[in-house]
Amino acid sequence: MKSQKINDTFARMYRSSQYRIWLWILGFFTMLAVHIVYKTKKGKDAFAGMKEELRGQREMQDLKEQFFQDALVQVQKKNEYFKKTMSESEAQKQARAIADKNFEQLLNDKTKEQAEMQKVHEITLVSCYAELMQNPAFMAVSFVLSFPMYILMLLFMRPIAKYITERLFLMIFVLFGVTWLVFTILYIAPMDAAMNILGQTATPEQIANFNHIYGLDQPYLTQLFDTFKNLLTFDLGNAYQGNEPVMTAIMAKFPITMQVTFSSMVVALIIAVPAGIVSAIKPYSSFDYIAMFIALLGLSIPNFWLGLMLILEFSINMGWVPATFQPGNWVTLIMPAIVVGTGMSASIARMTRSSMLEVKNSDYVLTARAKGLAEKKVVLKHILGNALIPIVTMIGMSFGNLMGGAAVTEKVFNINGIGSYIVDKQFIPDIPVVLAGVVYISFVVSLMNLIVDILYAFIDPRIKSKMKNY
Amino acid sequence: MAKNAQTKNESLYLKKVNKRKLGGSLEFTTSRLAFQVTGVLALLLVLWQVLLPLVKGEEISTVIGIITAIYGLEFLVQFIIVKKIEKEITGTAGEISNITRKMGILLLPSVVTGNFLVFIAGAMLLKKEKNLEYQLAVYSLLVNIFVILISLFNLFKDTIVYTFWTGIGFYALYAVLNLVVIAAVSKYTFGKKPDKKFLPFAVICLLGIALGNVFSFMLGLIALGKYFNKNEEVSVEWIDVIKRLFRNYTAVIGMFFVVLFISISIGSNLTFDYDIAISNNFAARLAKPSLMYPFGCDDYGRCVFTRIIFGASISLIIGIISTIVPIIIGGLLGAMAGFYGGRKDNVIMRVLDVLHAVPSILLAIAIIAAFGVSTINLILALSVSMIPSYARTVRAQVMGISNQEFVEAAKACGAKNGTIIFKHIIPNSLAPVIVQATMGIGSAVLSTSSLSYLGIGVEAHVPEWGNVLKAGSTFLETNPYIAIFPGIAIIIIVLAFNFFGDGLRDALDPKLK
C-alpha cells in the first residue's frame, strides 16, 4: 500500500520535466541504479517483441506505403496553394517524414492496444523503479543514500506543501535577483564611501587601505559572490562607520520595526474593516460619505506630517504621551501605530467597501436572507466571507508599503528601527548596511505575500480544491 | 393600522422620489455642498480663532474677525437659498423659480473671500440650461480669479517683482475674455453643433493653456471636436467621458484644484518673487503669520507662502515626469509580455518580480544612496520603483484584449505585430492606466515630500514642500505653522488627484458606456 503510493508519486514527479531534474540531483544513486536496470532491460521485454512483430506484418507495410502516398498529395496541394515550387525529391523527403511520424504513432497505439489485451506492460523507467523497490534491500539502501529525494517526494504528496515549496524556491531566485540589483546599483555608484568617511584630507594610501580592508578593491564578481555568501551565512562583517558588526545591529533593530508594523496593522484592521462594512451595508448614506471622505483623506495625508501634528497636539500641547518611542513602553507605541495605520486603514476600508458592494447583490445573499438568517450572520458570513479575497490581498500589499515606509515614521518618532538605520547609513553609503537592510526587508515582504497566497486557500474553498489537484 | 402603514409607505416612496429629484439637480447638489462646507469652515473659525482666544483671554485679530463674519454671512445666504431650492423642486412647480435664480447673483461675490463652492453654486443657479461648455467656462473663470487673488497677496509685501503687473495684466485680460466666452457659450453652443461664430472663441480658449488653464483648453477642444465631427448622430467618445466626469461633483472639484495648481505654478513665474523664496532675510526670521507673510517665515526668514507657491511647480513636475517615464517603460514591457505570452512573458515578468519585491521607498533610498541627492536622481528612483505596477496593469489588460475578435481580425488582415500593438491594443487598454497614473501623480508627490523630509529627496535649498516641512519640524514647539501649511498644501494636491482619479475611474468605466 505504502510502496504503491511512493511509486505513484515517483511516476508523477518523473512526468514533469522540472521535477525530473530534481530527482536526478537529489536522488542520484537511486536514479543511476534504476537507469542502468532500465537500459539493460529495454528492448528485450515482451512489449518490444510485440511491436517488432506488428511492424513485420504485411498489412502494416501496405499501410505505410499508403501513408506515404497521402502525405505526398498533401505536400503537393500545399505547394500549389501557396504557389511554391519544390523539386520532386524534396517533396518526397517531406512526405516520407510525415508518413514515418504517422506510422510510428499508429504502431505505438496498436501495440499498446494489443499489450493491454494480453496484459503485458511496457517497460519504463518508472516501472523499473517500482520493480526495484519490491526488493527490501534496495529500498533500504535507496532510503539511506538518497533521502533528500524522499523528502521532496513527501512534500510532493501534499499539495499545499508542494505549492509552498515551489513558491519558496521561486522566492530564493527573486531574492538573489534583489541582492544582485541592489549590489550593482551600489557598485556602480559614483559615491565614494572611503572619501566620505576618511574626509577630504585622506591620502591615496589611506583610501587604498580602507578599500582593501572592506574588500572594495576586489573585482565585481568576487564582491558579488562574497555578498551572496555573507547574506546567506548572516555574517555581514562590520559597518564602515562605527565599525560595529552589521548583523548584531540589524538583529537588534528588526524586532522594533516589526513591532511597530504589526501594531499599526492591528490598528488599521480595527478601524478599517468595521468602517468598510458599515459603508457597504448602507451605501450613499451620510456615514458612507463621511467615512469614505476620511479614508481618501487618510490616503492623502503624508505620514510624517500626521506624525508631527500628533506630536504637536498630544505631546507638546497636551503632554499626554511622550513624543519619542521607548522600547518596552507601549504607551509610546500608540502614536506611531496610529500614524502608520491611518494610510493603511484608508486603503483597506475602501477595498472592503467596494468588494462587499460587489457581492452584496448576489443570489446567494438573497437566498441566505430568504431562509431567515439573522442579518448579522448574512453580513459577516455570506457577504464579508465572500468579499475577503481582495481585502486580504490589499492587506498583504500594504504590508510591503508599511515596511518600506517605516523609515519615514521611524525618523519622526525617533524609533531606533531598521528603516531609520538604513537612512542614517545611506549618506556614506555604507554598502553592507543598505544592502542587508533592503534584502532582509524584501525577504520579509515576500514571505508575507506568500502567506497571503496560502491564506487564499483557507478563505476560498474553490481555491483550496484547485490547490488539491495542483 | 393598515392605513397607517400605507401612508407610511407612501411617504417613504415620496421621500425617495424627492431625493432622486434633488440628486439630479445640479443647482441643489452644488448649493448643498457649498452650505455644508461653508458651515463647517465658519464653525471652525468661530471655535479656534474667536472662542479659543476668548477663553485664553487673548485678543482677536480684526482680520480674522472680519473673515469669520463674512463666512457666517455666506453660510446664512447659502442656507436660505438651499432651503428655497429644495422647497421649489419638491413642490408643485417642480422647478426653480426665476426669483430664486436671480438670487444666485448674491452668491457670486463670495469668490473674493476664496469660497469657490458658493461661487460655483451661484453660477450654476443663475443659468437655467447648463451644458458642459458652460460649466467649463465657469470653472475656467474661477481658476483665473483664484490665480489673480493669490497673486494679489504680494501687494502686502515691501517689494513686488517687476513683472508683477504684467502677470496680473495677462490673467485679468484673460478673465475678461473668459466672461465674453461665457456669454458666447450661452449664445452659440446649445445646439448639437456649435455655431460657426463660436470658432474664434474656441481659439481664444485653446490659448488658455499658455496660462495653465486646462478648463478653457478643454472647452476649446470640445467646441472644435464637436464642430468637426462629421457624423452628428454619433457623439464623440472622449467628449462623453468628460461629460460623465462632470456629473461627479467631487471629481470636478479635485480637477479644479489640479488645474489651479498647474495654473498658479505657471503664473507664479511672473507674479511671485523667487528671491523671497530662497534668499535669507534675517530681519524676518521666524516671523508670525501676517498679511505680509501669510504663512509666516522660516528660520532663514524666507516667506513660507512664496516657498509653497514655488513648491507647487516642483512637486507637479516631479510627480508628472516620474509617472510618465514608468508608464512608457512599464507599459511597453507589459504590452510585450501580455501580447507575446509564453517565454517572453515569463522572462519579463520574472525580472519585474525582482523589482516588485523591493518596497518602492526602499528602492528609491538605495538608488539615491548610490547616485547622491539630486532632483534627477529622485525622478529616476521614483520611476524605477513604479515600473512593475504599471507593467502588471498593462499586461493584464493586453492579455484580455489580445484574445478578442477584433485583434484576430487585424491579424487575419495581415497587420504587423507592431501595428496591432500600437493601433489596436494600447488604445483599448489605456483606461485603467490613465486612472492609475492620476492617482500615481498624487502618490509620487507624497513620496517626493517624504524623501525630502528624510533629506534624500530634492536638494535642500529648493523650496520643495517636503523641504519646507523639514525646516518647520525643527521649530514645531515654537512655530508650528511652518510645518502645518506645507502639509496642508500636500494634502490638498494629493486629495485633488485622488478625487479626480476616482471620478475618472467611474467616467471611463466601460459598463457605463
Q: What's the average pLDDT block by block, 10 residues per block, for chain B (513 residues)?
A: 68 81 81 88 85 77 83 89 85 78 83 86 83 88 92 85 89 91 82 79 87 89 85 78 88 94 91 82 79 83 89 92 94 88 88 89 88 90 92 90 87 86 83 90 92 87 88 84 90 93 85 55
Residues of A in contact with B490 (CB under 8 A): 300, 302, 305
Asked whether the beta carbons of residue B450 and residue A188 sit closer than 8 angstroms, the reply is: no
Does A48 fall in a domain? yes
- State how far the Cα of B309 lies from the Cα of B271, in Å rounded to an integer: 11
Does A198 fall in a domain? no
Residues of A in contact with B469 (CB under 8 A): 302, 304-305, 308
Q: What nine digits make up the cell of B275?
A: 528671491
For residue A400, is pLDDT > 90?
no
**Interface residue A311 vs chain B (CB under 8 A):** yes
Of the residues B81, B114, B147, which one is the last residue of a structural domain?
Answer: B114
Same domain (yes/no): B290, B228: no
**Interface residue B490 vs chain A (CB under 8 A):** yes
Q: How many domains does chain B have?
A: 3
In the stretch 247-266 of chain B, residues with CB closer than 8 A to chain A read none
Task: Supply the pLDDT for residue B511.
Answer: 62
Residues in chain A: 470
Same domain (yes/no): B18, B69: yes
How many other CB atoms are there within 10 angstroms of residue A80's CB atom? 10
Q: Name the average pLDDT for chain A.
A: 84
Let me know if A132 is exposed, middle or buried by CB neighbors in 10 A (0-12, 13-18, 19+): middle
How many other CB atoms are there within 10 angstroms of residue A162's CB atom? 18
Residues of B in contact with A186 (CB under 8 A): 366, 369-370
Task: Supply the pLDDT for residue B482.
Answer: 87
- State how far the Cα of B107 lies from the Cα of B82, in Å rounded to an integer: 12
Closest-CA distance of chain A to residue B438, Å: 13
Does A204 fall in a domain? no
Asked whether the beta carbons of residue B370 and residue A191 sit closer than 8 angstroms, the reply is: yes
For B246-282, give the DSSP string: HT-HHHHHHHHHHHHHHHHHHHHHHHS-HHHHHS--G
Same domain (yes/no): B366, B288: yes
- State how far the Cα of A78 lies from the Cα of A76, in Å rounded to an integer: 5
Does A278 fall in a domain? yes
Q: Among A119-128, A246-255, B213-222, B250-259, name the one with the lowest average pLDDT.
A: A119-128
- State how far the Cα of B226 lies from the Cα of B233, in Å rounded to an integer: 11
Nearest to B370 among A185, A401, A437 (CB): A185
Task: Supply the pLDDT for residue A90.
Answer: 82
For residue A91, is pLDDT > 60?
yes
Does B122 fall in a domain? no
Same domain (yes/no): A121, A253: no
Same domain (yes/no): A421, A276: yes
Residue of B80, B152, B81 whose CA lies nearest to B111: B152
End-to-end CA distance of chain A: 23
Residues of A in contact with B363 (CB under 8 A): 438
Does B23 fall in a domain? yes
Residues of B in contact with A302 (CB under 8 A): 446, 449-450, 453, 466, 469, 487, 490-491, 494
**Interface residue A450 vs chain B (CB under 8 A):** no
Same domain (yes/no): A131, A256: no
Residue of B480, B481, B479, B450 whose CA lies nearest to B464: B450
Same domain (yes/no): B312, B402: yes
Same domain (yes/no): B406, B323: yes
Closest-CA distance of chain B to residue A214, Å: 17
> Which own/partner contact pairs does A228-233 have at CB distance under 8 Å and 24+ positions apart?
A228/A176, A228/A179, A230/A432, A231/A179, A231/A435, A231/A436, A231/A439
Nearest to A400 among B359, B454, B480 (CB): B359
Task: Supply the pLDDT for residue A23.
Answer: 83
For A215: left if phi > 0, alpha if psi spans -120 to 50, otherwise beta; the answer is left
pLDDT greater at residue B441 or residue A212:
B441
- The H-assigned helical ranges of A282-387 are 286-300, 303-310, 334-360, 363-370, 375-377, 385-386
Does A208 fall in a domain? no
**Interface residue A145 vs chain B (CB under 8 A):** no
Does A443 fall in a domain? no
When scoring B362, B389, B477 by the number of chain A Cβ atoms within 10 A, the one with the most, hence best to mutate, is: B362
Same domain (yes/no): B305, B446: yes
Nearest chain A residue to B475, by CA? A312
How many other CB atoms are there within 10 angstroms of residue A231's CB atom? 20
Same domain (yes/no): B301, B174: no
Helix H, strand E, coil C: the string for A416-433 is: CCHHHHHHHHCCCCCHHH
> Which residues, 6+ apart, have CB-to-CB distance to A383 below 8 Å?
A280, A356, A359, A360, A365
Asked whether the beta carbons of residue B362 and residue A407 sit closer than 8 angstroms, the reply is: yes
Residue of A398, A416, A403 whose CA lies nearest to A347: A398
> Which residues, 6+ apart, have CB-to-CB distance to A293 below 8 Å?
none
Query: Is the distance from CB of B76 to CB of B69 less than 8 angstroms?
Result: no
Nearest chain B residue to A427, by CA? B369
Task: Supply the pLDDT for residue B3.
Answer: 60
Query: Is the distance from CB of B283 to CB of B232 less than 8 angstroms?
Result: no
Tell me the pLDDT tens digit for each residue of A21-63.
888 888 888 888 888 888 887 767 777 777 777 777 777 777 7
Q: How many domains does chain A have?
A: 2
Nearest to B366 among A174, A182, A403 (CB): A182
Does A455 fall in a domain? no
SS3 label, residue A245: strand
**Identity of the residue numbered A331:** V
Q: What nine digits make up the cell of B87?
A: 422647497
**Interface residue B37 vs chain A (CB under 8 A):** no
Same domain (yes/no): B294, B322: yes
Same domain (yes/no): A267, A415: yes
Nearest chain A residue to B442, by CA? A300
**Interface residue B308 vs chain A (CB under 8 A):** no
Closest-CA distance of chain B to residue A400, Å: 6
pLDDT-based confidence at A208, cuts 50/70/90?
confident
Closest-CA distance of chain B to residue A440, Å: 10
Does B119 fall in a domain? no
When scoring A305, A318, A340 by the number of chain B Cβ atoms within 10 A, the one with the most, hence best to mutate, is: A305
Query: Is the distance from CB of A102 to CB of A108 less than 8 angstroms?
Result: no
Q: What is the number of CB-based contacts under 8 A between chain A and chain B?
A: 145
**Interface residue A292 vs chain B (CB under 8 A):** no
SS3 label, residue B297: strand
Residue-number span of the structural domain to which B413 is assigned: 274-512
**Interface residue A427 vs chain B (CB under 8 A):** yes
- State how far the Cα of B288 lies from the Cα of B304, in Å rounded to an integer: 11
- The H-assigned helical ranges of B413-458 are 417-419, 426-428, 430-453
Same domain (yes/no): A116, A9: yes
Residue-number span of the structural domain to which A71 is assigned: 3-159
Closest-CA distance of chain A to residue B237, Å: 27
Same domain (yes/no): B237, B323: no
- State how far the Cα of B151 lies from the Cα of B130, in Å rounded to an integer: 31
Q: How far is CA A256 from CA A85, A237, B152, B448, in A?
A: 76, 22, 50, 26
Same domain (yes/no): A251, A117: no
**Interface residue A342 vs chain B (CB under 8 A):** no
Nearest chain A residue to B479, by CA? A312
Of the residues A92, A127, A159, which one is the last residue of a structural domain?
Answer: A159
**Interface residue A446 vs chain B (CB under 8 A):** yes
Same domain (yes/no): B364, B469: yes
Nearest to B370 among A316, A429, A442 (CB): A429
Q: Among A101-110, A187-196, A273-282, A413-422, name the one with the lowest average pLDDT.
A: A187-196
Residues of B in contact with A312 (CB under 8 A): 476-477, 480, 483
Nearest to B357 among A178, A186, A427 (CB): A178
Task: Supply the pLDDT for residue B512.
Answer: 55
Tell me the pLDDT tens digit for each residue of B123-140.
888 887 788 888 899 999
Does A153 fall in a domain? yes
Residue of B302, B312, B318 whose CA lies nearest to B266: B312
Same domain (yes/no): A394, A283: yes
**Interface residue B446 vs chain A (CB under 8 A):** yes
User: If you ran DSSP here, which 8-state letter would residue B58 be given?
Assistant: P
Task: Supply the pLDDT for residue A1.
Answer: 56
Same domain (yes/no): B145, B232: yes
Range from A137-146, A288-297, B231-240 that averages highest in pLDDT: A288-297
Residues of B in contact with A304 (CB under 8 A): 450, 453, 469, 473
Same domain (yes/no): B106, B141: no
Does B322 fall in a domain? yes
Nearest chain B residue to A177, by CA? B354
